[in-house]
Structure formats: structure tokens, C-alpha cells
Amino acid sequence: MLRLLILPLFLLSCNPKAQNSPASGDDLQLQFSLPKKLKEVSGITLSKDKKTIWVIEDRGNKNAIYGLNEKGEMLAKVPVENAENTDWEDIISDVQGNIYIGDFGNNDNNRQDLAILKTDLKDAAQATTKVIQMTKFHYEGQTEFPPKKSNLLYDCEGFVEMDGNFYLFTKNRSKGFDGTFLVFKVPNKEGDFEAKLIGKLKLQGGYNDAAITSATINSTKDKIVLLTHKNVHVLTGFTPDNFNTANIEKISLNHNSQKEAVAFFDDKTLMIADEKGKQEGGNVYKFLLNQ
């Protein structure tokens, strides 16, 4: 069985409140293997009634949203009529059940067509879905496309929606990786916006420990989980306009795979998906958070 690992306490210079979480003793539980055709799942979320698990794949794959049941069986492949999968990196839902796709994968930090796509997807019976709102954005502070290799902080694979705004958590691809990530705020509206920088923080460890691949927020909007290949990082104590005040608890999953997707199943439980590798991955897990 996969067990939690308690790591030594380490204080971070960019974020003095960061700390490791005590282990809960709960397992990372395999729920099901993904359908074989879904090898590069990059985002996961739930329908409002929690009967459908929605997933997407990233760059190079279909412009479609896939619906699965609780056993991982394919319920639906729903093409998105009026959008292309430039690099879809996360999918989320808001409290009303609206489904959003983050088309903001930016490995080379040179994209100038970043967007969040709101769809009219409601259930697995739909033959197709379409984008009904496009939120285009560019990052405050980025003036070069791409920046210098020491400042590749403008890729993104994780976001959440909170009270009418999107919050984006960037993936550090800089030479000399040190766990630094940026937090940006964008209004949940149609239009073209400057994403406002509202936080600069740091996660502990190397790339697999601290490069953010997905994000999710709980129902009370006071806890955000950031996923990396080896850990989950729980953010609390933030405000809508300032994430520099956030506390960060690091919880090791004691399991290293290309984890790319996370969503709250309920306020105590996470669903986590990883990409299919040669000898591992391609699964959905459940993980019980500390309370």
C-alpha cells in the first residue's frame, strides 16, 4: 500500500509560513484505471451531481471532454465545437456546475493566445458542447516571449474559480529551478484581460516535488490544493487579492508518477489522475486529506 511520508520541516525564504503536514495515515487509493485511449489526461472535475467525472487531455489530443462513471467506464466523448486544443491543461467546475477549460499550457513561455473557455456542458447525454465565454488574458509582468531561461514562470497547468474570478498557479520551467511559482487573478468574464499578479511563493524540493500540474478548491473556498508529481500542497490563509499571506502544507504521496489532475470529490477527499507511462500511471486515485 502507498503510505504518507513525513518529511522534515523546512522554512522557505519566499514563504516563511510553508511547512510539512503531519501524516494522516491514510492511503492513496487506486479507484480505477483510465480507458486505454486516455493516455494524457491533464485535468479532472466532477459534474454538479457527482455522477460524471469529466476529463480532458492536453496538447496534441482531441478537442473533446470525456465523461466517465465511478468505475472509470467511458460514458461520453463530447467534442467542443468551436475550440481547438492548443494546450488544454486543466478543467474545473464552479458552484453552479459550469465547466471551464484552461487553454493556457505554455511550455516555452511564448504563447500570446492564452484563454479560459466556459462551455455549455451539463451532462453526458450531450452530443457536443460549445464555448459560450472566452476569457483571454496575458500575464502582468511578462514583456518577453519567451523570457530568459532563468525566468520561465509563465506556463500554467492549474487554476480555480472563486467568487467571480479565476486564480492561476504557474508552473516553473526556469533554469535553476527553485520551486518559485506565481499566482494570477483574472475576472470570470468575456473579454481580454491582464492577469494581475497577486502572489509569489515557493514550494519545497526539486521539480517533481514542486512543479505545479493542477489545482482545486474546496466548497468553502478557504483551502486550495496544488498538485505535483510527488506531493499535494494545501494553501490556506490567503485572501482574494493577496496570496503572499498563504500558509502551505506539503503532504507527500510517497508515490512518484506523472500526476496531472486533481479535484475535490468532497471537502475531505481528493481525486488524482496521472498520465499513462510505459510501466505505470493511467489511473485515478482517491486521497483523504488531513482535517
Q: What is the pLDDT of residues 244-282, one digit of tens each?
A: 999 999 999 999 999 999 999 999 999 999 999 988 999
10, pLDDT greater than 90: no
| Residue 93 belongs to a domain | yes
d(CA 262, CA 271): 6
| Residue 5 belongs to a domain | no
Give the confidence band of 291 by pLDDT, cuts at 50, 70, 90. low
pTM strictly above 0.95: no
Q: How many domains does the chain have?
A: 1
In the block, residue with C-alpha cell 468553502 = 220
Burial degree of 112 (CB within 10 A; 0-12, 13-18, 19+): exposed
Q: What are the strands, taking DSSP E only, across 140-246?
A: 155-162, 165-171, 180-187, 191-202, 214-217, 224-227, 231-236
Express each pLDDT in 105-161 by its tens digit. 999 999 999 999 999 999 999 999 999 999 999 999 999 999 999 999 999 999 999
| Residue 67 belongs to a domain | yes
CATH number of residue 65's parent domain: 2.120.10.30
Express each pLDDT in 58-90 by its tens digit. 999 999 999 999 999 999 999 999 999 999 999
Tell me the three cell numbers of residue 259.
500526476
How big is the CA angle at 234 (ends 6 and 165), to the nearest 5 degrees? 170
280 to 89, 220, 229, 251, 283: CA distances (angstroms)? 21, 34, 13, 21, 9
* Residue-level pLDDT at 77: 98
Express each pLDDT in 96-120 by its tens digit. 999 999 999 999 999 999 999 999 9
Q: Residue 49: CB partners within 8 Å, gap ≥ 6?
A: none
| Residue 72 belongs to a domain | yes
> Looking at residues 148-176, what average pLDDT do you find?
98
Tell me the three cell numbers of residue 35.
480507458
| Structural domain for 153, as ranges | 34-274
| Residue 279 belongs to a domain | no
| Residue 219 belongs to a domain | yes
Could you tell me if residue 221 is left (phi over 0), alpha (psi between -120 and 50 degrees) or otherwise beta?
Answer: left
| Residue 18 belongs to a domain | no
* Residue-level pLDDT at 278: 87
| Residue 141 belongs to a domain | yes
